[in-house]
Amino acid sequence: MCNRCCQPVGCAPSCCEPNICYCIFDLESSVFDTRNVYRRALIELAASYDRQVPEVLLLQVGVMATGEMAELIVRKCRIPVSWEHFLLQVNERASELIGNPPLMEGVERLVRHLKKCCIGMALISSSCEALYCQKIRGREAFFQHFETLVCADDPQLKQPKPEPDVYLIAMSRLGEADASSTLVFDGTIKGVQAASDARLKVVMVPEKGLPQCWSERAAVRLETLAQFRPEWFGIAPLSREAPPPRPKSKPRARSRLSQAQQESSEERETEGEGSEEGKEGEPGKKDEGPEKREEQPQKKQPEPERKEAEPERKEAEPERKVEAKPEPRDDNDNGPGADDAGGPNKAGGGGRN
């Protein structure tokens, strides 16, 4: 019996003694890609106060927690409200823009695979618990794969990223997790820094255009989680999904028709072979298809019989004419031969007298 999953049989090969036993995902950068949503909310809110956020400042706040981000924008852009009020407005606008954000490419398949391999998973978020519940609305079944959650308003969390507190809390809630058996998925610079300070290996999925030097502390840098290979860290490889089966109704109907056609063609061929056997002695005939072989004997057979019958009739007519002439000569005794025979008899009779 496996000591981790408590299954007698059927657990993954890497379940009992894997290199990685636990994984921690950052919600905003490795499950949902909501970083651009917050950037758009900041730009729109700053414009409502007739302020413009510089591009350099947007790059800086992209890796910050929401509270720190709001405080920096209010201070740098001199927005005439408190950063707490501005943060509330940013969260409200972001929730409107987020609605039901799509999952990042490859994350759903990866999470389900890790669950099958008995890998314990935790989720951390820079949002409050209320906003988290709004983000996952409609996907509650998928997020049940995660065993624990650490939000920004968690009572145990004292300092946000880049401090490693959030990862240390998540590891403590996973049970026996330690730095050597835990893998982190994070796409922010401060997240990578916090995980590396906690001596955790990090798989980074940064924003496009992020300089390579900012991901030096990550173990692996990927464009999407679809490129991730679990065997890099001693986890069972992803199973290849079988292609969807083809519909069987149409091919079956076609195959039956083709079989019927093949059977009919075979019958025609056998009939044609039988008719050809009777015509083997006839010269001057070419081989033709089975259909023509059936039609030709029916049309051409009576023609030679008629031609042969006509000469027989013509030959019979002159024979009848020849036979008709000698018949009267045989019946009459007064033929030319009789007259000649009678002459000498008469003369002889006269001589005797």
| Residue range 220-232: mean pLDDT, rounded | 94
Cα separation of 346 and 342, whole Å? 6
Classified as helix, coil or strand, 189 is helix
Residue 124's Cβ-count burial label (10 Å; 0-12, 13-18, 19+) is buried
pLDDT over 50 at 248, yes or no: no
Task: Name the β-bridge partners of 23.
Answer: 121, 183
Q: Tell me which range, 34-38, 66-70, 349-353, is most confidently predicted by mean pLDDT.
A: 66-70
Q: Where are the beta strands (DSSP E) in the chain?
A: 22-26, 120-124, 148-150, 182-186, 201-204, 220-221
Do 27 and 123 contact (CB within 8 A), yes or no? yes
Percent of the chain with pLDDT over 90: 32
Q: How confident is the model at residue 274 (pLDDT cuts 50, 70, 90)?
A: low
Residue 240, phi then psi, degrees to nearest 5: -75, 130
Q: CB within 8 A of 83, min separation 6: which ones? A: 67, 70, 71, 73, 74, 75
Q: Mean pLDDT, to the nearest integer, of 173-183?
A: 92
* pLDDT value at residue 281: 47
Confidence of residue 167 (pLDDT cuts 50, 70, 90): very high
Looking at the predicted structure, is the pLDDT value of residue 215 above 70? yes
Q: Is pLDDT of 244 > 90?
A: no
Q: Which one has a higher pLDDT value, 306 or 49?
A: 49
Average pLDDT, the chain: 74
Q: Residue by residue, what is the 3-state secondary structure of 198-243?
A: CCCEEEECCCCCCCHHHHCCCCEECCCHHHCCHHHHCCCCCCCCCC
The answer to whether the beta carbons of residues 143 and 259 sit under 8 Å apart is no
Q: In whole angstroms, what is the distance from residue 96 CA to residue 113 CA?
A: 32
**Three-class secondary structure of residue 162 per DSSP:** coil
65 pLDDT more than 60 = yes
Q: What is the spatial distance between Cα 121 and Cα 265, in angstroms, rounded to a whole number? A: 65
Domains of the chain: 1-33+101-238 (3.40.50.1000), 35-100 (1.10.150.240)
CA separation for the pair 79, 42 (Å, rounded):
12
Average pLDDT score over residue span 65-85: 86
CB neighbours of residue 297 within 10 Å: 14
Amino acid 243: pLDDT: 41
Q: Given this model, what pLDDT does residue 37 score? A: 80
Read off the tokens for 187. 């796409």
Give me 140's structure tokens.
């509650």
| pLDDT over threshold 50, residue 213 | yes
Between 201 and 318, residue with greater pLDDT: 201
| Alpha-carbon 132 to chain mean position | 34
Q: Distance (Å, rounded) from C-alpha 201 to C-alpha 179?
A: 8
At 299, list the tokens. 């049309």
Strands (E), 214-351: 220-221
The β-bridge partners of 120 are 22
- C-alpha to C-alpha distance for 159 and 132, rounded to whole angstroms: 19
Least confident segment among 39-53, 181-195, 199-213, 327-341:
327-341
Distances in whole angstroms, Cα of residue 133 to Cα of each of 16, 109, 167 = 34, 22, 21
The arithmetic mean of pLDDT across residues 163-187, rounded, is 94
Confidence at residue 271, expressed as pLDDT on a 0 to 100 scale:
61
Predicted confidence (pLDDT) at residue 255 exceeds the cutoff of 90: no
What confidence tens digit (pLDDT) does each residue in 291-331 have? 444 444 454 445 544 444 444 444 444 445 444 444 455 44
